[in-house]
């Protein structure tokens, strides 16, 4: 078990949705808040090599959460940016961390790295058995390349880098901007807007048939910190709940929680995205004792409550 109390820890993306939770979990696990560095993108653009080099100097652990990310709409609109930004940030940061003698590098990847048609539940050894779902392939492949880099650096240099694959996140402080948000915050925002405007219909992309798995942000952060302390293997490891729900059932559940009684109109001309997503989470439980604690309905109620307090 890696003792965190005397470690200097860099958390890229540490001021973001997941990052704030990771910082809190690090402190809960014994890290000294004074030793946790959170670079801000406006002054530390990780697409610039020199900024990566500056940020890792003197650090013992790097947890790389920073990403340019969004839902299907953003993936369709800006595939080149999503590929370039995520690849260049990660590649440069890993190289800089190795050069600076960082003790451990924790890279948080993406469920979008899995092939479009992956047997359910997704197992880590399925990661290379096909091409990702086309809509988010540029993002997924860019992040997956960082796994190859970490494994290569371990093989050649003995650099201790681990790679985590969290399933779709949700929770308070998520991105609720409809232009770039993921499905849960997008739905919460749309339902709230419909209620405010007295609308009796809600338009939702696709046909409702795809399934997704979601992990509450606090649980994901806990898994990341547990892996930071106790996982040192080259194999990627899933972080999830091992349960899936159809988009149709998800819409109905959020509508029930928010007391929306209007008609759901499925925009079948819009893309569904990957047909199914559900992770096999046995490796995380076996390797470092992680299992998610928050049930979906409970987490959604907390997320809706937070959102309504903000608007």
CA 57 to chain centre: 26
Let me know the angle formed at the C-alpha of 281 by 163 and 64, rounded to the nearest 5 degrees.
25
What is 100-121 written as a DSSP string? Answer: TT-SEEEEE--GGGSBSSPPSS
What would the pLDDT profile of 224-249 be if each residue is shown by its tens digit? 999 999 999 999 999 999 999 999 99
Residues 217 and 170 sit within 8 Å (Cβ to Cβ): yes
Query: pLDDT tens digits for the chain (311 residues)?
Result: 999 999 999 999 999 999 999 999 999 999 999 999 999 888 999 999 999 999 999 999 999 999 987 777 788 899 999 999 999 999 999 999 999 999 999 999 999 999 999 999 999 999 999 999 998 899 999 999 999 999 999 999 999 999 999 999 999 999 998 887 889 999 999 999 999 999 999 999 999 999 999 999 999 999 999 999 999 999 999 999 999 999 999 999 999 999 999 999 999 999 888 888 899 999 999 999 999 999 999 999 999 999 999 98
Query: Which of 247, 13, 205 has the alpha carbon at shortest distance from 108?
Result: 13
φ and ψ of 28, to 5 deg: -60, -35
User: What are the sequence ranges of the domains in the chain?
Assistant: 9-172+213-243+277-294
* pLDDT computed for residue 274 by the predictor: 82
CA distance 76 to 135: 6
* pLDDT computed for residue 71 by the predictor: 75
* pLDDT computed for residue 275 by the predictor: 87
Query: Which of 68, 7, 2, 14 has the alpha carbon at shortest distance from 40?
Result: 14
Q: Which residues pair with 201 in a beta bridge?
A: 263
CA distance 200 to 220: 35
* pLDDT computed for residue 72 by the predictor: 75
Which bin fits 122, alpha (ψ -120 to 50), beta or left (φ > 0)?
Answer: beta
* pLDDT computed for residue 271 by the predictor: 86
Residues 46 and 92 sit within 8 Å (Cβ to Cβ): yes
The pair of three-digit structure tokens given for residue 156, joined into one six-digit string: 């050649």
The top-level CATH class assigned to 9-172+213-243+277-294 is alpha beta
pTM: 0.94
Q: What is the DSSP code (8-state) at residue 270?
A: S
Q: Which residues are catalytic?
A: 139
Q: What is the DSSP code (8-state) at residue 234?
A: S
**What's the N-to-C CA distance of the chain in angstroms?**
42
Query: Which of 46, 128, 53, 126 has the alpha carbon at shortest distance from 90?
Result: 46
What would the pLDDT profile of 49-92 be if each residue is shown by its tens digit? 999 999 999 999 999 999 987 777 788 899 999 999 999 999 99
CA distance 190 to 249: 16
Edge to edge, the sheet with strand 61-64 lists: 36-37, 9-12, 61-64, 104-108, 161-166, 237-239
* pLDDT computed for residue 27 by the predictor: 98
Q: What is the DSSP code (8-state) at residue 14?
A: T
């Amino acid at each position: 078990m890696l003792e965190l109390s005397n470690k200097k820890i860099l958390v890229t993306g540490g001021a973001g949705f997941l990052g704030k939770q990771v910082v809190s979990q690090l402190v809960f696990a014994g890290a000294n808040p004074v030793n946790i560095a959170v670079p801000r993108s406006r002054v530390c653009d990780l697409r610039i090599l020199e900024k990566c080099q500056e940020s890792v100097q003197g650090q013992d652990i790097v947890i790389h959460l920073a990403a340019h990310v969004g839902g299907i709409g953003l993936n369709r609109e800006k595939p080149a940016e999503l590929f370039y930004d995520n690849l260049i940030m990660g590649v440069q940061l890993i190289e800089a961390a190795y050069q600076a003698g960082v003790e451990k590098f924790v890279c948080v990847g993406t469920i979008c790295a899995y092939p479009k048609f992956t047997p359910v539940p997704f197992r880590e050894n399925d990661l290379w058995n096909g091409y990702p779902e086309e809509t988010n392939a540029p993002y997924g492949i860019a992040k997956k390349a960082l796994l190859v880099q970490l494994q290569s650096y371990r093989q050649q240099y003995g650099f201790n880098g681990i790679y985590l694959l969290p399933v779709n996140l949700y929770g308070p402080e998520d991105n609720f901007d409809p232009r770039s948000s993921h499905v849960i915050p997008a739905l919460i925002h749309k339902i709230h807007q419909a209620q405010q405007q007295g609308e009796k219909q809600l338009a939702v992309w696709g046909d409702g048939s795809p399934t997704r798995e979601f992990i509450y942000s606090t649980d994901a952060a806990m898994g990341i910190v547990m892996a930071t302390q106790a996982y040192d293997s080259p194999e990627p490891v899933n972080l999830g709940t091992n349960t899936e729900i159809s988009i149709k059932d998800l819409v109905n559940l959020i509508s029930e929680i928010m007391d929306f009684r209007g008609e759901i109109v499925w925009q079948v001309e819009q893309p569904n995205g990957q047909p199914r997503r559900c992770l096999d989470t046995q490796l995380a439980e076996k390797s470092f004792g992680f299992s998610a604690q928050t049930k979906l309905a409970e987490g959604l109620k907390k997320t809706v409550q937070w959102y309504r307090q903000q608007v």
